[in-house]
A = this chain, B = another copy of it.
Amino acid sequence: MQLPPPKPKKCLFVLADGAGDRPIKRLGNKTPYQLARTPNLDHLSKIGEDGLMDPIAPGIRPGSDTSHLQLFGYDPYKYYSGRGPIEALGVGLELQEGDIAFRCNFATIKDGIVIDRRAGRIREGTHELAKAVNEIAITSVPGVRIIFKESTEHRAALVLRGKSLSPQISTNDPHLAGRPPMKVLPIEHTEAAIRTAKALNEFIEKSHKVLRSHPVNRGRELPANYLLCRGAGKLVRPPSFEQEHGIKGTVIAAEGMIKGVGSLLGMEVIHPKGATGGYDTNLYAKADAAVEALKRSDFVFLHIKETDLAGHDGDPEKKVAVIEDIDKMLGYLLKKIDMGSTIVVFTSDHSTPCSVRNHSADPVPIVIAGGDVRIDYVTHFDELSATEGELRIRGKDLFPILMDLMGRAKKFGA
């Protein structure tokens, strides 16, 4: 007897940034995923297919930007032009051909030494600081102007606009607190690189003068009195998500970089009210936004940053707590969608092991459920259980797999 005819499905992709980890001695050699109580993730594992994914390739440490490009079906080796342009797009700046964009940190400098690279993770007043910085005029290089905008917490983006500029310059970021900032230098012998380095050095110096005397910094223990600028890049514009894949895509995120990737690909980008990209974010605002977005969009991507923060902070207990919060939100979200007509994916863009305090190349667990997805033996969502699953894939495999499960993949041959 014939089954009913198939229908195209939608996809809800939930990503916990940097959530993959390594065994932690003080957690009994378990990872945060292994230790966390995650009934909703486990439910997905039980009704779906699980496994491990190398976001780029085994042994390659992914950035969040390159990995997200890959997970959205774009080759990052072709389309990644540095983090600056992505950060700038993420905060809503419009980039023009030839613009050089940077990601920036508000930092604290004292007696010529960077004493906090994040100005105490400043939250209040960055909009006012950015407004003041935006008034700066570059005079050492004719025809160059700056556009500066704050992002979440200590983050911001800078664009240098003008003729003949180059991203081939060094950063002023010493990368470790306790060191003096560095002078920006051209890293290739071109007039454009020399001009760009000169303009950026002038901007950094002038912004320090503007920031240190700004009222927002009055009384701050760690004043946001200095800008660290890195990730210089010139935009490469890929074909839009809808052009490339033939479906509508939505990105729900608070973090500038992720919104930037969505914006780069011409996807709908939603920053729900209360979503901060920090530990105090409102996950339920994101869940509600996802439910709404699924009504108009085929591919809805929900980004969660806090797992990555806990990894960078080297705090495994915090990571466990964040994972349990995410699981609760997932329970709320799954109740509001139709799993029969929605492919649900949960994974990460990379591991950020607490012991490493940075991205590692360890593969990330992944689960795909909903629709008529295969069911494997895995019943718990974690790195170890995932080794028994059906999937052992690379990031570049995932988007085609999702398109297939959604009933939207093209056949190769006849």
Interface residues of A (CB under 8 A from B): 1-6, 22-26, 29, 31, 52, 56-67, 76, 80, 82-83, 103, 231, 257, 313-317, 353-363, 372-377, 383-384, 387-390, 392-394, 397-404, 407, 409-414
Contacts and interface: CB of A to CB of B under 8 A. Distances in A.
22 contacts: A2-B313, A3-B26, A3-B314, A3-B315, A3-B354, A3-B355, A22-B373, A23-B374, A52-B390, A58-B394, A60-B409, A61-B404, A61-B411, A65-B414, A76-B412, A257-B414, A359-B411, A361-B404, A363-B390, A377-B387, A387-B388, A392-B392
Contacts of A60: 400, 409, 412
Contacts of A25: 372
Contact of A411 (B4, B62, B393): B62
A56 B412 contact: yes
Contacts of A353: 372
A63 B411 contact: yes
A24 to B, nearest CB: 7
A24 B410 CA distance: 23
Contacts of A5: 314, 357
A6 B412 contact: no
Contacts of A64: 413-414
B58 A412 contact: no
Contact of A387 (B57, B362, B363, B389): B389
A266 to B, nearest CB: 20
Given A22-B372, A376-B387, A61 B412 contact: yes
Contacts of A29: 375
Contacts of A52: 390
A362 B374 contact: yes
B58 A393 contact: yes
A361 to B, nearest CB: 4
Given A22-B372, A398-B59, A399-B59, A6 B356 contact: yes
A376 B384 contact: yes
Contacts of A363: 390
Contact of A316 (B3, B67, B80, B393): B3
